[in-house]
Amino acid sequence: MDRPEIYARSLWHLLSPIQSLLNDKSVTEIMIVGRRAVYCERRGQVSPTDCQFPDDAALSALAQNVAEYVDRPLDERHPSLDGRLPDGSRVHVILPPASRSGICISIRRFQHHHLGLGDLVQCGTLSPQAAEFLEIAVECGRNMVISGGTGTGKTSLLNALSAAIPESERIIVIEDTAELRLHQAHTVYLEAQPEAGQGRAAIPVRRLFKDSLRMRPDRILVGEVRGGEALDLIQSMISGHAGSLTTVHANSPRDAASRLETLCLQSDASLPIYVARAQVASALHLVVQIQRLKDGSRRVQAISECLGLDAQQQYVWGDLFRFDGHGADAEGRIHGSMQPTQRRPGFADYVLSMGYAQRVRLTRAQFAAREPANATAPQALDNTSFEMGVSAATRVAQLNR
């Protein structure tokens, strides 16, 4: 029996006070706050449980065993750590005095079955039209950011969208903590590493990103941008690596762009703010804003297109889909759905000219929509022009067979 297996077995023994939660597939997150308070999340709702640890020593032993299993320091100089349990679940530990409530351990359960876009449509996160639109956008190589708060389902949505990437493309996935599982065979997974014992140096996400650019990627997926690597990602988007996907913590598409801008300024490049803003505006095509509602459901609130900067150097946005809420029922469940706007996406002509027109079914009205009279974007094709584009694309596809 090797060292990791020894610690893995002892971990499951030390986790026995919350074993009932670990066995419950409906539990998505477990939050331990000291030895007496354990909370769990089910279907987006957090509630207290009856689970407790017998004493502080048992909880401390669990924390130290997690540190030994992931081979990372946990002491007064290193009061917190991120890692993974043997089943792949994410775990975060923080010790007193940084935590005034005692040892806190958060476990985000590993999902063995990742949701696809069809699953997200069934549970109401997306409408069928919005799902088709995003599929086409990914396939066409739009740079896309999924924006939302903690626990809103950003990573699940990113994983679902990645299924639209063609099998023929080489994908590099970069994460701080591994969560994404793509179905494409030609996928390379890179995971950041903290500083560890025996003098092992840290390997941050930014270094992995620079490494990925030398690995001949067709697509780069970054699980979450949270530091100076945002500048590398933005610059790669505008220099030949189209179709990048990532997530960011923000409350709106405008906030997501501002967040990326701020993260770019955290790099060592000493960019002026107007340069960072211009690069973000040039690189960013779409922002998908997702939110966890009061009833615990996760809904995409908007799909917005970045239209560049105006004369005052402010971001210009065009909503392509919006969530239309209809209030809550007697049980508190919120009703509503994603509705397309009358704005035509800026890459609609590309969809027609590059042979993707046959993929447009549910969103045909969206791609053929006319802009309002005061819109600054080019006028859209009418339905007749759209049908001509579909016919032309079909003829080209037949000639290429």
CA distance 281 to 286: 10
Name the residue ranges covered by the structural domains of the chain.
Answer: 3-108, 117-341, 342-401
**Residue 179 Cα distances to 117, 148, 173, 225, 251, angstroms:** 17, 17, 10, 14, 22
Low-confidence winner among 30-44, 132-146, 355-369 (lowest mean pLDDT): 355-369
pLDDT at 236: 92
CA distance 246 to 188: 16
Rounded to a whole number of angstroms, the CA Rg of the chain reads 23
pLDDT at 158: 96
CATH fold for the domain made of 3-108: Beta-Lactamase (3.30.450)
Burial 234-256 (b: 16+ CB within 10 A, else e): bbbbeeebbbbbbbbbbebbbeb
Q: CA neighbours within 13 Å on the CB side: how many for 342?
A: 8
Low-confidence winner among 207-216, 248-257, 390-399 (lowest mean pLDDT): 390-399
CA distance 72 to 89: 16
pLDDT at 1: 60
For 96, counting Cβ atoms within 10 Å of its Cβ (0-12 exposed, 13-18 middle, 19+ buried), the class is: middle
> Strands 37-42 and 45-48: what pairing?
antiparallel
pLDDT at 6: 79
DSSP character at residue 391: H
CATH number for the region 117-341 comes to 3.40.50.300
pLDDT digits (tens, 9 = 90+) for 50-96: 999 999 999 999 999 999 888 888 999 889 998 889 888 999 999 99
Q: What is the four-CA torsion angle of 30, 31, 34, 36, rounded to 10 degrees?
A: -60
